[in-house]
Structure 1
């Protein structure tokens, strides 16, 4: 049988068949192989019948009595410690120092003045200083250096 010529590219049907078999063996939907300026892509369309079956849990009988709700557990005390915390205004990465190896902007127990930078959050390659909203003592830092943070996540507490 040999190689076939199609628009200037040599195609080896046995190689294409081997790629198709690899798709079946691995349950992949497509595979692409590149060799220099030659590129071969084999893809298949998955049908609903080929998708993995989905199992559903049986519904509870309608006449089954509902159990009384368990008493609510007391909220963990740590959650209360964030009530006065300064929270992140953005998603990003926290840095407690101006650059690697430099001392931190502020440490727990140190006094800070309103407007002092306590940490920075890098978001989209921009360094955003997070400043103390009031003067006082830095009571706690709730994040670690180089930690990713989410919007509204507690950062630090000043007392």
Structure 2
């Protein structure tokens, strides 16, 4: 039985969980012989969507509409309503091949479903598509850099 052959140390699990907290990693795995211990956490990204302004609103509505059209400034990109996050751990690429031009640049206008970047995980390239139509206003990763699950990749406003 696993219980007799591999005693699981709760202190080790707590220590691994602390490493996740200290380093902002989302998962860690330790292996010894046939025993593997994987500790993971989920990062939840909350988004807020502004309510549309009614057409018959009072005279203050044009000011509210202009404010709603202005870019949203958020200190933490994970809290931005237009954030595109990595759905997996892997290596992020802005280009489909080393000699190709980037899929998107700052200011690129995209439609929902357009390819924004690629994430390579386990020798498989995964397309990351735009979840909404808009303009790419920020890009947070360098081409060929590792990314974590839930890490902000870019902002589409």
Q: Give the TM-score normalised by the residue count of structure 1.
A: 0.50
User: What is aligned with 1:140?
Assistant: 138
C-alpha spacing 1:95/1:128, structure 2 compared with 1 (3 Å): same
CA drift at 1:78: 3.0
User: What is aligned with 1:83?
Assistant: 80
Deviation string 1:102-126 (CA, Å, 9 cap, x unpaired) is 1000101010011000000000000
Task: Write the distance in 2 (CA, Å) between the matches of 1:113 and 1:95.
Answer: 19
Does the residue aligned with 2:142 lie in a helix, a strand or coil?
A: coil
Deviation string 1:69-103 (CA, Å, 9 cap, x unpaired) is xxxxxxxx631575231111000000000000210
Give aligned pairs, total: 83
Task: Write the distance in 2 (CA, Å) between the matches of 1:157 and 1:143.
Answer: 11
User: Unpaired segments of 5 or more residues in structure 2?
Assistant: 1-73
Does the residue aligned with 1:78 lie in a helix, a strand or coil?
A: coil
Task: Write the distance in 1 (CA, Å) between the matches of 2:107 and 2:79.
Answer: 17
- Are the aligned partners of 2:87 and 2:150 in contact in 1 as well (CA < 8 Å)? yes
Q: How much is the aligned-residue C-alpha RMSD, in angstroms?
A: 1.4
Normalized per residue, which structure has more helix? 2
User: What is aligned with 1:108?
Assistant: 106
- Are the aligned partners of 1:88 and 1:153 in contact in 2 as well (CA < 8 Å)? yes
- Are the aligned partners of 1:139 and 1:157 in contact in 2 as well (CA < 8 Å)? yes
Q: Give the TM-score normalised by the residue count of structure 2.
A: 0.50
User: Unpaired segments of 5 or more residues in structure 1?
Assistant: 1-76
The structure with more radius of gyration: 1
